[in-house]
Amino acid sequence: MSSDFYSSSILPYAAIIIKICRAYTNTQEDFEDYYQEVCLQIWKSRNNFRGQSEWSTWVYRLTLNVSLTLLKKQKKSHSQISDEMLPEIPEEPGVFEDESLNQLYSAIRKLSEVDRGVILLYLEEKSYQKIAEIIGTNPNNIGVRIKRIKERLKKLLDGKVY
């Protein structure tokens, strides 16, 4: 991967890639693996970008798909080992300076895999249309879904749901 490609096509979207990867990982090591894999997949799949959507939309979608795939792989490899053999990986202390943000991330990680993607895009102020386009769902359902996710997040943050 040329540094030109990285600087021009990935780095401007690094913030959202980082935010998404953080939502799907519990440890710094996993986060770095996810980030690298996303960058690699963007580079490998760059010729598949047909220009039918914006580059940023394509990058978000790919980041979500890679994160979901890696999470699935991780779950699969964990399920092959009995629970007794594998201690649960504890969530590392928050990486952000803002403690409220750490708590919000911790709550987001408790959501379903797709809901995590939806709420991240919502918080990044993407329109319902864009979120639906990235997630691959009907835009009419997005509003209701976001409302439901926000209620759950609020409960999680208030400590009512574990």
Partner 1 sequence: MEKSIESIWKDGFQNDKGMSAPKVNDIYNKKSIHIIEKFEKMFTVNIWGIVIVSSLLFITSYFTGALFAGSIVLTMMLYVAYTAYHELASLKKIDKSQNSYTFLRSFKDWINRSVDRYGKMYRIVYPVLILSFYIGIWFSNTFTDVREIVAANSDALFFGLHIYTTIFVIIIAIIMSVFSKSIHRGDVKTIYGRILKKLDMALAEMEELSH
- Rounded Cα–Cα distance for residues 124 and 101 (Å): 14
Alpha helix positions (H), the chain: 3-5, 14-24, 28-45, 55-79, 99-108, 113-123, 128-135, 139-157
CA 53 vs. chain centroid, Å, equals: 20
CB of 124 to partner 1, least distance (A): 8
Spell out the residues 6+ positions from residue 41 whose beta carbon is closer than 8 angstroms to its own: 62, 66
Tell me whether residue 18 or residue 68 sits nearer to partner 1 (CB atom).
18
Task: In angstroms, give the least distance from the CB of 118 to partner 1.
Answer: 13
CB of 92 to partner 1, least distance (A): 11
CB closer to partner 1 out of 32 and 54: 32
Q: Provide the binding-site residues for partner 1, judged by CB under 8 A.
A: 1, 6, 11, 14-15, 17-19, 22, 31-33, 35-37, 39-40, 43-44, 94-98, 100-101, 103-104, 123, 150, 153-154, 157
* Closer to partner 1 by Cβ: residue 119 or 132: 119
Write down the least CB distance from residue 77 to partner 1, Å: 11
Q: Distance between CA atoms of 93 and 105, rounded to whole angstroms?
A: 11
Of the pair 6, 55, the CB lying nearest partner 1 is at: 6
Q: What Cα–Cα distance (Å) separates residue 53 from each residue in 1, 43, 116, 130?
A: 23, 17, 22, 10
